[in-house]
């Protein structure tokens, strides 16, 4: 199985979340879509796996889920999603394509 990793940083208020999205390039694995993200479980909950047809779709679904759980969903300027390493300047719900080898 060959996987490609895409990284996104999501800012929700003062919290920073790093999303590592896997792209199934080739292999025997059976996924419902080409991209997936496994969100770590908080205490008392299960690991959530998000699938999507594009990297952007998966990152946006994960950002919406984290924002909803933290109470930030729908608050203007409270959340930012960007692709790249933590500490890079946030860009409001804009995803820039950067590929890792």
pLDDT tens sequence across 16-38: 888 899 999 988 888 999 999 99
Give the per-residue pLDDT at 88: 46
Please check whether residue 98 lies inside any domain of the structure: no
pTM reported for the whole predicted model = 0.68
pLDDT > 80? residue 97: no
Give the per-residue pLDDT at 17: 83
Please check whether residue 29 lies inside any domain of the structure: yes
Please check whether residue 20 lies inside any domain of the structure: yes
Please check whether residue 36 lies inside any domain of the structure: yes
Cβ burial, residue 50 (10 Å; 0-12/13-18/19+): buried
- The number of folded domains in the chain is 1
Beta strands at 48-52 and 35-39: parallel, antiparallel or unpaired: antiparallel
Please check whether residue 32 lies inside any domain of the structure: yes
CA angle 91, 15, 95 (to 5 degrees): 25
| Residue 17: CA count within 13 A, CB half-sphere | 24
Please check whether residue 25 lies inside any domain of the structure: yes
Please check whether residue 39 lies inside any domain of the structure: yes
Which range marks the domain in which residue 60 is found? 2-83
Please check whether residue 38 lies inside any domain of the structure: yes
pLDDT > 50? residue 75: yes
């Amino acid at each position: 199985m060959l996987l490609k990793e895409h990284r996104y940083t999501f800012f929700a208020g003062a919290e920073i979340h790093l999303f590592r999205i896997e792209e199934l390039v080739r292999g025997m694995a059976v996924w419902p879509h080409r991209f997936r993200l496994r969100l770590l479980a908080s205490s008392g909950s299960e690991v959530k796996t998000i699938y999507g047809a594009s990297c952007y779709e998966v990152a946006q679904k994960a950002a919406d889920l984290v924002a909803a759980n933290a109470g930030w969903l729908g608050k203007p300027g409270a959340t930012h999603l960007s692709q790249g390493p933590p500490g890079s300047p946030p860009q409001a719900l804009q995803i820039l394509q950067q590929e890792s080898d």
